[in-house]
Amino acid sequence: MSNEVRKPIISGNWKMNHNHFEAIQSIQKLAYLLTKEDFVAVDVTIHPPFTDLRSSQTLIDADDLQFILGAQHCHEAESGAFTGEVSAQFLAKLNVHYVIVGHSERRQLFGETDEQVQQKVVAIQKYSMTPILCVGETLADREAGLTHEKVLGQVRSALAKRSVEHVRSMVIAYEPIWAIGTGKTATADDAQRVISSIREEVSKISSPMAASAIRLQYGGSVKASNIVQIMSQPDIDGVLVGGASLDSAEFARICQYRLRTA
């Protein structure tokens, strides 16, 4: 089911790094390093902290840059007494197009449940933005042979009651928790096996059309040194990059991985 041509998507998650001045500088550096041909070849989404979104949006719009603005998180409610939270409708007003949802750090550190993640997916799509749904297993899950059970359970929960059109437009990022920020990376073959199983599961719970169209990313210590091997896999359509995206030169090399393929 990997026969449909899907444009690769490279996403930079800056996490809690860069104030808005630093964000502007990083975007300008990256814009200098990437070419028009790069943006034809891949979609590049940038996910700065909330305080940087307005500055980033203004720069992207004013200079007609080809980056696609994304957010790292949102609350499932539209408004209310949720001090410190940001709703999907607020993000949509800032021309945010992609929103990361269910990142392992949100699940582990802030206790986000599968039910909350599913509600966030609904909220994001209500405002015509695209969720980047993160799924992944812990080291304990992996060692117990529960990788597929854990990952596919998260997929089923998040996609519950979503229409075929909703599902086919999404991005799902497989990010093994044991590989995030550790320097460890799932082998390309291992990542392909899990991501292929995600595509198969999408076909079962939605439709073959949705499974063929949905874009699937890998995340977990992605670097310029391993991007070519990762992107050579038939079901991997992109990467969700953490720490390496903070270095504009390194992130540009990741975005330009195709230049190093035979």
State the angle between helix axes of 20-33 and 53-62 in degrees (0 to 180), rounded to the nearest 10: 30
Those residues whose C-beta lies under 8 Å from the C-beta of residue 151, and which sit 6 or more positions away, are 135, 136, 137, 174, 194, 197, 198
User: Considering only CA atoms, which of 167, 258, 199, 257 is closest in space to residue 4?
Assistant: 199
Catalytic entry in 47, 73, 75, 103 = 103
**Which alpha helices (H) appear in 42-95, and where do they start and end?**
53-62, 88-92
Catalytic entry in 112, 137, 175, 201 = 175
The tokens describing 33, both together, are 């390093």
Please state whether beta strands 9-13 and 238-241 pair in parallel, antiparallel, or not at all (unpaired). Answer: parallel
The tokens describing 131, both together, are 């969720």
- The dihedrals phi and psi of 111, each to the nearest 5 degrees, come to 70, 25
The tokens describing 103, both together, are 């990142």
Residue identified by tokens 């089911």 is: 1
| 103: annotated active-site residue | yes
The tokens describing 234, both together, are 């038939």
HSE at residue 198, side-chain half, CA atoms within 13 A, is: 36
Active site residues per annotation: 103, 175
